Amino acid sequence: MTGTQRKIIHIDCDCFYASVETRDDPSLRGKPVAVGGRAETRGVIATCNYEARRFGVRSAMATSQAIKRCPGLILLPPRFDAYRAASRQIHAIYRDFTELIEPLSLDEAYLDVTHAPHFQNSATRMALAIRDRIRAEVGITASAGIAANKFIAKVASDWNKPDGQFVVRPHEADAFVAALPVGKLFGVGKVTAAKLNELGAQSCADLRDWPLEKLTRHFGRFGQRLYELCRGHDERPVSNDQPRKSLSVETTYVQDLRDLDACRTELQALIADFRERLARAKDAPLPYKAFVKIRFDDFSHTTVECISTHPADEVWQALLAEGWARQRRPVRLLGVGVRFEEEKALLRQLELFQSTP
């Protein structure tokens, strides 16, 4: 990196929804608590506290499965007004330290404090002060990672959870990243991690032995990103003006949709809901791709997409048919939406296909 070395803090509140619930009802302290949908409506867990995690409960798990693992689980419906209020308090604290804030969710954000004057420009001390204020003013705890780029800062914020922080100094970054399992890399989920493991890459150090050509052969354009991340390279700036990347709606059904015809009927209702939401999104850029998301009754899932700038209902229906044919099983969840073209890609299209006055 040229010029001034960045100082980036990644802040992540601990079990955010569950922490707000416990703050507001102290009788819940020390008990396994989760926030999510009811089992009888095929709900899923949005978040849970560490007491529940000891039983194997985790976010995105079906509520019915969570209750089997933890029969004493206290399940609460989400109170988004309370979470948004806490989020506003947290972001007000961030703004006392820097204007360069990139929110990732209600409780998670990157802060660029490279030029912040507080605490003699010590990012470590700023992170500690931010966490102390969140505890004192909001009543919950947060963890932090401090590093020279976003990737390493985010990984570091998990290192001393809950209610801790971890700093990776520039001269420590290479060894820190080399020791990481490949599953810690951005964009590497369980399937990709398993494939990398099968190919002999367990750690980022292993992956560094792979030439770029091998990575792109196995993983396409994502191979370039893997090549950079396993070396700890991440030049993305902290941006407080992130464009919307996608818009979608989805529904989990109380009863499985038994066949494609049943899916088609439900998808039509989803499309109508999506069009209403898109009409309300005044700041949304132009659609670039249409997609359909399907989760089957065995919890396997697939997403099918195609390039479409003005998708008609028939486009989503065709994507549904393609996705359903991959498993031909009853369906528990359907989603429909669009991905938006990035600004740079739009500029390229203008240069290629349009002349400007």
Indicate which CATH number applies to the domain containing 285.
Answer: 3.30.1490.100
Instruction: Kindly state the average pLDDT of the residues 190-202.
Output: 90
Instruction: Kindly state the average pLDDT of the residues 183-207.
Output: 91
pLDDT value of position 191: 81
Q: Are residues 157 and 11 in the same domain?
A: yes
Last residue of a domain, one of 118, 137, 168: 168
Angstrom CA distances, 40 to 123, 150, 266, 295, stand at 47, 40, 20, 18
Q: Are residues 192 and 161 in the same domain?
A: no
Q: Are residues 12 and 146 in the same domain?
A: yes
Instruction: Kindly state the average pLDDT of the residues 137-147.
Output: 98
Domain membership of residue 91 (yes or no) is yes
Q: Are residues 164 and 178 in the same domain?
A: no
Angstrom CA distances, 303 to 46, 90, 190, 295, stand at 21, 34, 16, 9
pLDDT value of position 291: 95
Cβ proximity of 20 and 83 under 8 Å:
yes
pLDDT value of position 92: 95
pLDDT value of position 283: 67
* pLDDT greater at residue 226 or residue 278: 226
Q: How confident is the model at residue 95 (pLDDT cuts 50, 70, 90)?
A: very high
Q: Is the pLDDT of residue 188 over 60?
A: yes
Domain membership of residue 355 (yes or no) is no
Instruction: Kindly state the average pLDDT of the residues 292-308.
Output: 91
How many structural domains is the chain composed of?
3
Looking at residue 61, which CATH number applies to its domain? 3.30.70.270
Q: Are residues 8 and 130 in the same domain?
A: yes
Q: Is the pLDDT of residue 244 over 90?
A: no
Q: Are residues 161 and 180 in the same domain?
A: no
Q: Are residues 222 and 268 in the same domain?
A: no
Q: What distance in Å separates the CA atoms of residue 199 and residue 78, rounded to the nearest whole number?
A: 42
Sequence ranges of the binding site: 12, 107
- Annotated catalytic residue within 102, 108, 266, 342: 108
Q: Is 213 a catalytic residue?
A: no
Q: Are residues 30 and 115 in the same domain?
A: yes
Q: Are residues 69 and 218 in the same domain?
A: no
pLDDT value of position 342: 56
Last residue of a domain, one of 145, 168, 191: 168
Residues spanned by the domain of 182: 174-229
Domain membership of residue 235 (yes or no) is no
Looking at residue 216, which CATH number applies to its domain? 1.10.150.20
At 23 the three-state DSSP class reads: helix
| Per-residue pLDDT tens over the stretch 97-134 | 999 999 988 999 999 999 999 999 999 999 999 999 99
Q: Is the pLDDT of residue 352 over 70?
A: no
pLDDT value of position 242: 67
Q: How confident is the model at residue 40 (pLDDT cuts 50, 70, 90)?
A: confident
pLDDT value of position 282: 65
Residue found by looking up tokens 């609460």 in the block: 76
pLDDT value of position 350: 38
At 237 the three-state DSSP class reads: coil
Last residue of a domain, one of 121, 141, 168: 168
Domain membership of residue 16 (yes or no) is yes
Listing DSSP states for 28-86 in one string gives: GTTS-EEEE--GGGT-BEEEE-HHHHTTT--TT-BHHHHHHH-TT-EEE---HHHHHHH
Domain membership of residue 41 (yes or no) is yes
Domain membership of residue 83 (yes or no) is yes
pLDDT value of position 213: 93
Sequence ranges of the binding site for Mg(2+): 12, 107
Residue 357 in tokens: 């006055």
Domain membership of residue 352 (yes or no) is no
- What lies within 8 Å, CB to CB, of 61 at 6+ separation is 44, 45
Domain membership of residue 357 (yes or no) is no
Mean predicted lDDT score pLDDT of the chain? 90
Q: Are residues 224 and 250 in the same domain?
A: no
Instruction: Give strand ranges (E) for the chain.
Output: 8-13, 33-36, 45-48, 74-76, 101-105, 108-112, 142-147, 165-167, 246-257, 287-296, 301-307, 331-340
Q: Are residues 17 and 161 in the same domain?
A: yes
pLDDT value of position 347: 38
pTM: 0.74
Provide the percentage of residues in the chain whose pLDDT is more than 90.
71
Q: Are residues 145 and 9 in the same domain?
A: yes
